[in-house]
């Protein structure tokens, strides 16, 4: 089982190698391009396999979103409470 951090690191490494293979394919012979293309396809299959695996994370993403939502709500309530029915300037623009 992969952890989220390790999975991201490994996929970044593989994507970097795929990018390097793409660059190398522009500057090599046609026979080499076929070999590089096969390697690239294999790496892409590895990425697909990794993305389909069960991933565990120590972060409680749902809990973090709920806390963020609560914090945002509290910030908005405090800025709109005790306001009059009109809008006034927040800065003085006198020359």
Which tens digit of pLDDT belongs to each residue from 5-24? 788 889 999 999 999 999 99
Structure tokens at 37: 């293309």
Residue 94 belongs to a domain: no
- Inside any domain, residue 93: no
Q: Which two tokens mark 61?
A: 């993403």
Q: Does a structural domain hold residue 90?
A: no
Q: Reduced to 3 states, what is the DSSP secondary structure of residue 29?
A: coil
Task: Report the number of distinct structural domains present in the chain.
Answer: 1
CA angle 27, 17, 30 (to 5 degrees): 30
Q: Cα separation of 8 and 11, whole Å?
A: 5
pTM: 0.55
pLDDT at 77 over 80: no
Whether 39 maps to a domain, the answer reads yes
């Amino acid at each position: 089982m992969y952890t989220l951090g390790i999975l991201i690191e490994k996929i970044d490494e593989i994507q970097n190698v795929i990018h390097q293979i793409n660059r190398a394919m522009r500057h090599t012979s046609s026979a080499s391009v076929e070999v590089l293309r096969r390697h690239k396809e294999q790496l892409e299959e590895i990425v697909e396999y990794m993305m389909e695996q069960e991933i565990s994370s120590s972060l409680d993403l749902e809990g973090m979103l709920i806390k963020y939502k609560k914090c945002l709500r509290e910030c908005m309530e405090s800025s709109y409470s005790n306001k009059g029915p009109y809008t006034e300037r927040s800065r003085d623009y006198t020359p």
